[in-house]
Amino acid sequence: MHAANRQAWDEAAERYEGWFAEAVALISSGGSNLFPVEEQLIGDLHGRCRRAIHLQCAGGRDTLSLWNLGADEVIGLDFSPRMLDLARRLTAAVGAPATWIEADVLETPHALDGTADLLYTGRGSLMWVQDIDRWAAVIARLLSPTGRFVLFEGHPAEWLFDVAEDGRWIATDYDYFAGPEASKGWEPGYIDHLSLADDDQSTKFARAWTLGEVVTALLQAGVRLERLTEHNVDWWSGHGDALPEERGRIPLSFSIVGRAPGRPAD
């Protein structure tokens, strides 16, 4: 499933390539592509973050946002070579101290163990990973002794709701407990249409990990959880046609802040 997803994401990199000029302008002007809620969780990194690691970094725009927030050095990891080419071009354009690693997140190189002062991931990452326990073990081993883990992700409940023609929420037929779903093609509000027809694209496998599965995996890996928060932030603009009075009624995203195993919270 990861091999298929890698192929699908390499195809989807076409959409990110279209955002290149915008990304250069944003990063070179000192801006950030992160949501305000993410910036609040991450905080000002100046003088307190030698290394930020971003897992599943795509084209590097969010990774380099961490540099603009004050990280001395950023490392982005992704399994799509085409995404990383884009990240390298972006780095060259803005002159950032960044390193890009091509690997499956479950096989993050051990050379990075214990080095992340900030370990950040999310915004459509976890749903592609098919082994949550192995993923949590990676989180635990990458954190430096005083490192912080920040995740901001789509809420699994989001999969249960869609917007009807009248702008109100209706239930989808998604089975919350079913596991991975195979699909071809992308949502219009997200990646949209690619030059490759939907039928010719790679099949991809995504799943909504439940909050219980995510939290339990992190706890069992030894990550010291500080907070789990549910948000009504529409993280991928997938529900733009919901009525204003329907907005804010259901959780669309969640965040987790944690610490390295065995260290007391501040």
Residue ranges that bind ligand SAM, judged by CB under 6 A: 2, 5, 9, 56, 58, 62, 78-80, 83, 104-105, 123-125, 128-129
Contact yes or no for 224/263 (Cβ under 8 A): yes
Select 67 or 128, whichever has its Cβ closest to ligand SAM: 128
Helix, strand, or coil here: 98? strand
- How many other β-carbons are positioned within 10 Å of the β-carbon of residue 91? 21
At closest approach, how far in Å is the CB of 257 from ligand SAM?
A: 18
At closest approach, how far in Å is the CB of 124 from ligand SAM?
A: 3
Calpha distance 206→136 (Å, rounded): 17
Task: Name the phi and psi angles at 27, rounded to 5.
Answer: -70, -40
Nearest-Å Rg of the Cα atoms of the chain is 18
Contact yes or no for 153/233 (Cβ under 8 A): no
Select 21 or 171, whichever has its Cβ closest to ligand SAM: 21
Select 123 or 224, whichever has its Cβ closest to ligand SAM: 123
At closest approach, how far in Å is the CB of 81 from ligand SAM?
A: 9
Select 49 or 138, whichever has its Cβ closest to ligand SAM: 138
Q: Supply 197's token pair.
A: 């027809």
At closest approach, how far in Å is the CB of 79 from ligand SAM?
A: 4
